[in-house]
Structure 1
């Protein structure tokens, strides 16, 4: 290699001469190139990037880099981007990345617009990158918030209805079981949301809130099919495993293993459809699928293969070798095109799903009377929240035009697999009764706009392909009004849907047309952007619409959409284009506080999922806290905070109730309403009931009272609403009123009875509350709820004036008992560190003196081995010192926190609960938060407030006046953030709506 004057080996020179040599070389190169400046590297890649990746050099400098020794750099084996971005390779890469965390069908759309997080085995959207807290909340309050909740796991139970009810009765409370026994729920016209428990442990051992939906029965079913019933149970993924274990225990189920023959046949069929070898992930057992040539799933595929082989043999005999090779290439190319046109890409996208139905994990009892199928990742579910949810649905979906098919044509078309997969709606709607039912569903779909009060109804409907009716661009939509449509009183439409049939669901997924065909049809329109006419061969899509009731102040209502797998993006895009604002997991958590929506299982303190999530979240907060430098950390010892990262629910209850081993959350609506009325924040329906009850002199003559007492004596709990209380218990003729109305309007017995029952349940009981700050500030997670003293309440009532805005209660600074220990640890750690470094340096110098330098350079392994042996000997002799050195980090972290064995009540006020979610509440314009408090201190606090206000406990039936600010803020507690010594006054509201 030809070297320039002054160019030499930089490694042989000292560091002081490097810069000088660079200047000399630069001057010489300028002269060599005729005065042109030498092309320098960009500033951001001069050292780090280029040294690790020489390909980042400019092309004009890459040749010189190779001449100067860059040829020894190992080339990268990563394929080119052009190759990686091919559709087949890109799809295979996406499936590989779903090995640990399954993607939703809308994952790629969300990944471009959301912060993603991986949890519960899914990659979920967390929060939008271009929208804030207020934008998504405004959409849920005034417009429509759209969320993909397809991570909810569906469990299908099949068996005799009495057997299913007997098994589920062991996992529910009596009031939930009464809702499950109603006729409209069992007929599939309505769905319910109940809390499941471990078998026989109610109210302890909560598992999580689930949605239960019965399958309807049609007149075309046989006698054996009518005897059996099917139930869909929608479970949050955090509680999916616990619910499965409980169901297996209750019904005595055993897992059904997949036979190798069926698996091989299934794999070969999918290969013939243009798919690849797919393994099932949800069964937690690897099922080996072996390839066998010549095995086919249907007779038609065998005939096609034989015809193709015969044609190939004929071509081979008539053509010479070169023409045969060209013909094989053309046949292979045509086959690839055929696979692409038959929707193989859509099936490859579902490679990680349990599709078709044969791949779903199944459980069965010993006598096969009850079976359980895990439909996880086989159904999509979208959630729309807000007053304009129905308007978005009306704008995005168009009901399909279904015409009856003659029975002769249907029977003949059923023999052909192609017709059955492409025209499935002709099989389903083959008679006048089914077509009439479809028309009734469409008419009910048009009438639902004015029936917002009608909650938890199920409306099946078959719509046109949403890609065909997709708007040309995103725009505004018209809001439906009550004058636009007729009103309905009860669900009188048929609820039979093709989506309930497992065979039809697979056909609906597999017969989906590719997007290229839809785009080609759209491009043939004479007027761009105009509506596409409906043709007989166009795809139809069956969906289930589930309405949700409002949760708080008429907010939080909406609709859920259930559809088959493979159609996720096809339905998601029209909803977005028609006005839905997409949200993620963070938006769901915000709705829990703003609108008191139901809490998922991992946020409840008495569920196994809640305990696991609390432990994990506390560890994450601890790691984040100790990443800060010591000067930026809060000294929780001085602040008197023992648990700054999570809430110790068991220890809190053991302080108030010694001997408590297990905890539970109070979910009885009757008791919660009585407790809320005692705390002065009962619901309006409950206040009307109390006023009516107070107006009567004799409580024994009230029909509702007689009904309640009679049901209590028989062991049942009344579920009658305010409207039918005077009519006695509900019958099968009109069971709707027993569960359609909100649970907040249920009648209660006298409050003395409720107080006595609450005192009996105070052992290990938690009550969900919402706290609203009176003045400025926000509530942080793990904020402590304190029980105010008598002096605090009396002083606050005497000085409550509009001009007095000071909160003078502060916690005294605690003594830091660990400061000397931390200082001692640090000094000792530095001594140990210096001693170990000295011993290592001494061992290396001793090896250097004993070994010959010239010989060591020639044989580098000998001196390395000798040095390593010397260091190992030093480590062996100082095991105790090294163990103390390695445990320094853990000891120092523990010295920054209070000891766990110290008493919990270490502050001037006693802790009665904790906040789990706090922030600035947009709907109230104040800082607010949601948490739980122990029942025993809560009852003590209510009695203390009534004692100070000069009222009797016996006059507790008096209704509080919301207009009086003093009465509205009478039941206020003290709250303190973990990072502050200041106590804040906060109004306490008993949460009843979300239970």
Structure 2
């Protein structure tokens, strides 16, 4: 038996019954210190990274020391530096990277190719943006379908920023301006620049602008115009504002320069050196990107009598559509009411208006632009000397403006109880000078509704429209002073924090704000803005739409004030919309409106149609072949565009073989009204035009259009009878006698079906596809060699530390087979969609027209299409109709025909 160690078991050693931890640790402190040193020091050939458990190791730790635990970071950094890895510098904070200087440079840099509106940042966060006509514009909102926007325009208020519309100012003697502009318009289309309804400046007019002496051909597009309210003498200098769509801006400008023989006079000096101290440099730089703070480009005639000033991007324009637009404007706009103690001018009674009808109270202008501008220089100096309070200087020196201001304030108070903008005269202009809309900004979004307690009493002001339209906004110096005296948003927030006229103040303070004494209070100076309100009447035909549908107001105000007005309107319940909403509201209105410049006989319309054709074609060929509709089998000759020239040639070649290739859209109101009477009333029992029979009506129609050029398009509107919804580029066809008979016998019959056509291009496509594959296999060696050569070049550049972005872009742009592949793609497109040779007889039903815009109409609760029909085709249709004007329409991607009723609009 072995000897025992413990004495209790027979051994010689006595073991104690307890042990002291401190004594035990002290006896082994050297061992513990040696163990710690072994752990802290890296083993030979090892890394600090390898001390971590495998579950904690990350690849990024090899070059980013801050990914390591804190106790190992210092050793790991030293190890990286020893291996030649440079230390990582600290990334700048987000606050540093987003400092205003960099944001401003980026803000201006990104506008080099496409101009941003002042509300761009707000829209970019909430809308899909698109690049159109030199601008970056909001296309449609992210969070709303069109149904919500339709409800807003029909029952509430839809808000759109249309500041991309371009304005031009024309100065000169009234007679000379009217005579020159008369060459570009026609009274047959409607009221023109010289109409008495517009010459006083009380209403905004609209017409179609043509090239010089080209009517009815050579249409440029629809324009809007507004005369400055003046004396009305035919010898005085007048000012005219001409608003155009940006797609026709250059054409209209060039026409005016040619007509009035104008020469360019550029004024490059900047006017931003004397801006107010309240205007921040950030906002100045933003406005300088739009050249707002620069002198306007001018074109002056040789005799110095006519002057054209370009105000593009110098004015903002918002559009409010819907019955609540007036209520929102009333709550947003607070008309300034100058206190008596300012002693700027006396308060006049609103009933005493005889001075407004007297010519002696208006200054008689000089004969030339130069003499007139000499007189304006003194007024401009007076305004610029106190630019932060321009309204005091302006109203002190202009007695007519003083009296007009009080009449405008009284008129605005009298119409506060209106329920809708449709209650006012069509296109009426109201001028106001309002306070900064940030004064009474609601703390959260609210819905403004008409106040039934406020009476609507505009009767005693109906004779004062001339004085109501007088505004200081016509002065360039006033617009500049208004822009530069604006309180910056940062300064505004400081005053808001101090509770100086902030949102949420008491009712007594609000009333005090409405009658604000325009003096500095605690270093705070309020701003006043001159604006113009232009009424839009909406629908005026009760047979097609309810009266006043899509009525509203347009607000015109100087640049620099877009965001304060925009936020103020949004917070009061206005729903924002984009280009799609504007197009759909126009479509719902069901008539040719002012906002449509894309008629098929204009250059802008042809450009837009070509852009839409390319977009639809690219979208079609992005699909695989088995997912594309075969338009050859469908019998659709032109699925992506409306080939008006081919259709017109089909209908006119039998009658006029030497007809001109150009065409025009019929816009003459007398002839369109005659067509409406014939089509809309001739099929009603007991309701004949001029009391004659249907034969007499057709004879009257034939005599009316016998001397017309048959190469013209008639604007039509089709409404589906049963089912079906017209799409863009849908065909308008003539129903056969069997189609009419079937529809009478079976009311549930939807319509005929197009038989499937023979695809005679399928064999050619198959042969071409096989040849293309063989050729690609033959050229495979060239592609491989090219890729290998490019890879070697990349490796060499990487070794030198140079950039390879150029080689990558070169590879994408140019390959040995790129030209060959592109050529094959173009050949295949022509085999899938051949060039159309005829449209009229391309399918089983005779084609008479196209639908330019078609969709489901929410206001009509059925499908509606707006399009055009050639005059010979319409004559043929009228002769074939017996009971009602029925036609057939068929969408490009369908074989089914649907019935529709045709109307003239």
Name the structure 2 match of 1:819.
762
Q: Deviations over 1:50-89 (max 9, x none)?
A: 99x9989967799799959998899999976433311232
C-alpha distance in 2 between matches for 1:403 and 1:859? 75
Instruction: State how 1:517-916 maps to structure 2 within 5 Å.
Output: 517-525=491-499, 529-530=504-505, 531-532=509-510, 533=513, 534-537=516-519, 538-551=526-539, 552-554=545-547, 555-596=549-590, 598=593, 600-658=595-653, 659-680=659-680, 694=691, 752-761=699-708, 763-796=710-743, 798-799=744-745, 804-838=747-781, 884=820, 886-901=822-837, 905-916=841-852
* Counterpart-to-counterpart distance in 1, 2:67 and 2:727: 52
* Separation in 1, partners of 2:344, 2:274: 30
Picking from 360, 383, 387, the partner of 2:323 is 387
Q: How far did residue 145 of structure 1 move? A: 0.7
1:165 corresponding residue in structure 2: 178
Instruction: Describe the SS at the equivalent of 1:254.
Output: strand
Q: Under a length normalisation based on structure 2, what TM-score does the superposition of the two structures give?
A: 0.78
1:481-500 aligned at under 5 Å gives the runs 484-488=455-459, 490-493=462-465, 494=467, 495-500=469-474
How much has 1:939 moved relative to structure 2?
2.1
Change beyond 3 A, Cα 1:820–1:408: closer
Alpha-carbon distance in 2 for matches of 1:422, 1:440: 25
Q: Distance in 1 between matches of 2:599 and 2:796?
A: 68
Aligned-partner Cα distance in 2 for 1:355–1:587? 29
Q: Give the stretch that moved more between structures: 469-478 or 58-67.
A: 58-67
User: How far does residue 366 in structure 1 lie from its aligned partner after superposition?
Assistant: 1.7
CA change 1:843–1:99 in 2 (3 A) is closer
SS at match of 1:237: coil
- Residues 637-695 of structure 1 show CA distances to partners (whole Å, capped at 9, x for unaligned) of 11111111111111111111123411111112222222122222699xxx999889659
Q: Does the 8 Å contact 1:681/1:990 carry over to 2?
A: no
Partner of 1:361 in structure 2? 297
Given that 2:81 and 2:87 are in contact with CA atoms closer than 8 Å, whether structure 1 keeps it comes out as no
Measured in 2, the distance between the counterparts of 1:783 and 1:40 equals 61
Q: Give SS of 1:180's match.
A: coil
- 1:174 counterpart (176, 181, 187): 187
Change (3 A) 1:752 1:130: same
Q: Deviations over 1:679-736 (max 9, x none)?
A: 22699xxx999889659x9xxxxxxxxxxxxxxxxxxxxxxxxxxxxxxxxxxxxxxx
Partner in structure 1 of residue 309 of structure 2: 373
SS of match in other structure, 2:423:
coil
Distance 1:76 1:829 in 2: 55
Cα offset for 1:833?
1.1
The verdict on how the C-alpha distance between 1:882 and 1:228 changes in structure 2, with shifts beyond 3 A counting, is closer
Shift of 1:812: 1.0
* CA distance in 1: counterparts of 2:405 and 2:413, whole angstroms: 13
Give 2:162's match in structure 1, choosing from 136, 149, 157: 149
Aligned counterparts of 2:178 and 2:783: Cα–Cα separation in 1: 73
Q: 1:981 to 1:371 in 2, by over 3 A?
A: same
- Corresponding residue number in structure 2 for 1:202: 215
Correspondence for 2:52 among 33, 56, 60: 33
Residue aligned with 2:738, SS: helix
Report whether the alignment pairs 1:113 with 2:126. Answer: yes
> What is the CA distance between 1:375 and its match in structure 2?
0.4
1:368-419 C-alpha deviation (Å, 9 max, x unpaired): 211111100000000011111111110111111135765799x999978775
Report whether the alignment pairs 1:934 with 2:870.
yes
Alpha-carbon contact 1:125-1:585 (below 8 Å) kept: yes
Q: Aligned to 1:423, which of 381, 385, 389?
A: 389
Does 2:316 align with 1:397? no
Q: Verify the 8 A CA contact 1:912 1:933 in the aligned structure 2.
A: yes
**CA distance 1:553–1:669, shift in 2 (3 Å):** farther
Provide the rounded CA distance (Å) in 1 between the counterparts of 2:102 and 2:64.
Answer: 24
Counterpart contact for 1:769–1:932, Cα < 8 Å: yes
Alignment RMSD = 4.1
Q: Superposed, which structure 2 residues align to 1:177-192 within 5 Å?
A: 178-192=191-205
Aligned equivalents of 1:251, 1:412: Cα separation in 2: 28
Give the conservation status (yes or no) of the 8 Å contact 2:888–2:900: yes
Shift of 1:577: 1.1
> CA 1:775–1:6 in structure 2 vs 1: closer, same or farther (change >3 Å)?
farther
Pair 1:125 & 2:146 matched: no
Query: Using the alignment, how far apart are the partners of 2:209 and 2:787 within structure 1?
Result: 66
Question: Within 2, Cα distance between the matches of 1:791 and 1:587?
Answer: 41
Q: CA deviation at 1:177?
A: 6.8
| Cα distance in structure 2, aligned partners of 1:885 and 1:580 | 51
* Aligned pair partner of 2:252 in 243, 256, 260: 243
Q: Which runs of 5+ in 1 are unaligned?
A: 8-24, 42-49, 275-338, 698-748, 848-852, 862-877, 950-969
Name the larger-Rg structure. 2
Q: Which deviates the most, 452-461 or 760-769?
A: 760-769
Tell me if the contact between 1:149 and 1:383 (Cα under 8 Å) persists in the aligned partners.
Answer: yes
Preserved CA contact (<8 Å) 1:158 1:372: yes
Which deviations, in whole Å up to 9, do the C-alpha atoms of 1:473-499 show, x marking residues without a partner? 211213145972213373514021110
* 3-state secondary structure, aligned to 1:654: helix
Equivalenced residues, count: 775
Change in 2 beyond 3 A, CA 1:412/1:816: closer
1:438 to 405, 416, 425: 405
Report the CA distance between 1:899 and its aligned residue.
Answer: 3.0
Q: Bigger shift: 442-451 or 607-616? A: 442-451
Of 97, 100, 107, the residue aligned with 1:94 is: 107
Instruction: Give the C-alpha shift of residue 102 in structure 1.
Output: 0.7
Task: Tell me the secondary structure at the aligned position of residue 413 of structure 2.
Answer: helix
- Give the CA deviation at 1:427: 1.6
> What is the match of residue 84 of structure 1?
97
398-407 or 90-99: bigger deviation: 398-407
CA distance in structure 1 between the partners assigned to 2:635 and 2:83 by the alignment:
61
Contact 1:919 1:927 in 2 (8 A): yes
Cα distance between partner residues in 2 of 1:769 and 1:234 = 27
Q: Report the counterpart of residue 515 of structure 1 in structure 2.
A: 489
- Alignment partner for residue 272 of structure 2, among 270, 278, 286? 270
- Cα distance in structure 2, aligned partners of 1:595 and 1:248: 35
Residue 601 of structure 1 contacts residue 609 of structure 1 at CA under 8 Å; is this kept in 2? no
C-alpha distance after superposition, 1:403-442 (max 9, x if no partner)? 5765799x99997877520111112211654332212112
Q: 1:412 to 1:145 in 2, by over 3 A?
A: closer
Structure 1 pair 482–636 and aligned structure 2 pair: CA distance change class (3 A):
farther
Change over 3 Å in CA distance of 1:39–1:911 after alignment to 2: farther
TM-superposition CA deviations, 1:253-291 (whole Å, max 9, x none): 222234xxxx4xx34x635759xxxxxxxxxxxxxxxxx
User: Residues 282-431 of structure 1: matches in 2 within 5 Å?
Assistant: 341-356=278-293, 358=295, 360-403=296-339, 420-430=386-396
Are 1:456 and 2:427 counterparts?
yes
Change in CA separation of 1:929 and 1:513 when aligned onto 2, cut-off 3 Å: same
Which position in structure 1 is the counterpart of 2:18?
Answer: none
Deviations 1:797-850 (A, max 9, x none): x325xxx322241111111111111111111111111112246769999x9xxx
Contact map agreement 1:159 1:370 (CA 8 A) in 2: yes
* TM value normalised by structure 1: 0.71
Q: After the TM superposition, which of the residue ranges 226-235 and 785-794 deviates more from structure 2? A: 785-794
